[in-house]
Amino acid sequence: MSKVQLFSRTIDELSGLIREKEVSPVEVTKATLERSKNLNEQVNAYINITEDQSLAMAMEHEKEILNGNYRGKLHGIPMALKDIFYFEGEVATMGSKIHQDFIPDYDATVVSKLKEAGVIFTGKLNMHEYAWGATTTNPHYGPCRNPWNLEKIPGGSSGGSGAAVSADMTIASLGTDTGGSIRIPASSCGIIGLKPTHGRVSKYGCFPLAWSLDHIGPMTKTVTDAAILLEAIAGFDRNDPTTVDVPTAAYTKNLNEDIGGMVIGINEDYFFRNVDPEVESLVRAGIRKLEDRGASVVHVEIPSLKNAEFAELITIMTEASTVHHANLKERAQDFGEDVRLLLEAGEVPSAVDYLQAQQIRRKLDVEFAEAMKQVDVMITPTLPFTPIDIGADTLSLNEEIVNFLDHIIRFTLPGNLTGLPSLSIPCGLSNGLPVGMQIMGKAFKEEDVLRAAYAFEKTNPMNGMKPKLSESKLV
Amino acid sequence: MQDLLKSYFSARDLNVSEEDCSKIAQQMEGLDVLRKGLDVRYLNDSDIGMYHRPLRRHDNE
């Protein structure tokens, strides 16, 4: 089997081949590492490729599988994660200069779970510094580039994860999401990004951005792979007081269930206002495809969405500045300029602002819960526009110049404020750049979101298209 | 606004440059626009509880 075939495969495909011993973990790992080394100069998705360590790990797992100890679908799968998760004894930079030599002495819960499942780690992926931004134009480790167009951002903050999955530099990845940081790069890079329900996945050993909004979730090539990864990482954890002891589902089991009778909620006032016309058209076409498969559409009202941006901005800014307060006092010059400014600005809002933001969140919780009683899922565009040029911080949206950061999180932030599960799935290309469709579900009902996404994926919305990259060292 | 910010940061023992103060003042103007859209009385709704709490086990029912 050629290397090209191996690195471009999914978890689901590779797991069958590894289980049947048709492919070895060492072969897959070598192919993925070679692909990553050849492309990293262009894409800059990795901060660090841990070649020797991952090959040693692959050999151990290969031996174990040959001895008949196959652990399950993730056994022998090479994977790189965002450099925000703690690995015992390994540097975790969080994309920063301040933490460039930080070595945690324990594994994050998601890392332990993936280690137990037999994942082989190939390195640490680039990210927006401390996850506080959505471009992944990192001043310390260089800008990460969008594999669909290397002049464009991959989105962020999990931009390295989005770019690496899209460019086949990892089989799958994990990201973190505080205002959209899984779904924004997923949409921008044409992959699946799932932010599970708040409390579904432990954040123990993951550096915080804003603790009440932070989530961890899968970033993958397919919906099935997202379900496989969620099965592996979901669950209550005594080390994380925000996890909820709710039974997890067998997320891969019911993906193929008929969506006939599924009710989709649409909110026009907030989620379809001030959107790029081509993005809007692709998302509406996506909804029609689900209607063709038997789903129906109803319109839902969520009045407090008019205050959602205030609630998100106040909460994320002030919580992030609380996390970084000591370093802002002592080492302000060691932050990148954009993050320093956001952290300084986060010192300014008042306690009244913060508490009003939490009151708005309560209103949103109640209104979303009410709206969700009428529907199984809600569908929205993931982003109002396609990725911008690296280095830009404004853009023209419907003939108005707008601030990038304020607008990029408009449709993703309600998922963070309420904690409801939300997934981005590619629904086509606009000017050669991917467009994402967001599917939101009820609390702890990731299975509904995944089922709708799986049905949509079967319509082949990307028509098999992938980014065209040449491996300079191979040519 | 810029002078106010400078005094505020100084009182908080934060060394923020004049250039940063000027940019932060612009950001605060953006927040002010959003703040003016709030109806404060509508937020003080004791029927549903006053503010957000994390999701719990039965929140999907």
- CATH code assigned at A282: 3.90.1300.10
If you ran DSSP here, which 8-state letter would residue A306 be given? Answer: G
- From CA A76, how far away is CA A64, in angstroms rounded? 10
CA A33 to CA A41: how far, in whole Å?
13
State whether ipTM is beyond 0.90: yes
CA distances from A348 to A112, A239, B5 (A): 38, 32, 8
**3-class DSSP state for residue A24?**
coil
pLDDT digits (tens, 9 = 90+) for B38-56: 988 888 887 787 778 888 8
Q: How many CB pairs under 8 A join A and B?
A: 101
CA nearest to B50 within chain A: A359
Q: Domain-by-domain residue ranges, chain B?
A: 1-29
| Token pair of A410 as six digits | 């408009």
Residues A80, A82, A88, A90, Cα dihedral to 10°: 80
Query: A458: burial class by Cβ within 10 Å (0-12, 13-18, 19+)?
Result: middle
Contact B57 A442 (CB under 8 A): no
What pLDDT sits at residue A475? Answer: 36
| Strand A263-266 versus strand A296-299 pairing type | parallel
Residue A37's CB is within 10 A of a number of other CB atoms, namely 16
The domain in which residue A298 lies consists of 3-457
State pLDDT tens for residues A324-359. 999 999 999 999 999 999 999 999 999 999 999 999
The one-letter amino acid code at A453 reads A
Mean pLDDT rounded to a whole number for chain A: 96
Element (H, E) at A215: strand A215-220
pLDDT for A470: 84
At residue B48, the pLDDT reads 81
Q: Indicate which of A307, A314, A325 best probes the interface with B, i.e. most B CBs within 10 Å of its own CB.
A: A307
Domain count, chain A: 1
Provide the pLDDT confidence category of residue B1 given band limits of 50, 70 and 90: confident
Nearest to A395 by CA among A413, A383, A407, A410: A407
DSSP code, position A129: G
Residue range A214-229, pLDDT digits in tens: 999 999 999 999 999 9
Residue A472's pLDDT band, with cuts at 50, 70 and 90, is: low
Phi/psi at A436 (nearest 5 deg)?
-110, 150
Cα four-point dihedral sign A57, A59, A60, A66: positive
DSSP state of A136: -
- Residue numbers in A near B12 (CB within 8 A): 347
Is the confidence at residue A3, as pLDDT, over 70? Answer: no
A474 inside domain: no
List, by residue number, the catalytic residues of A: 82, 157, 181
Query: CB-based contact (8 Å) between A211 and chain B?
Result: no
Mean local confidence (pLDDT), A401-415: 95
Cα separation values, A261 from A83, A245, A253, A257, A457, Å: 41, 30, 19, 11, 18
pLDDT of A474: 44
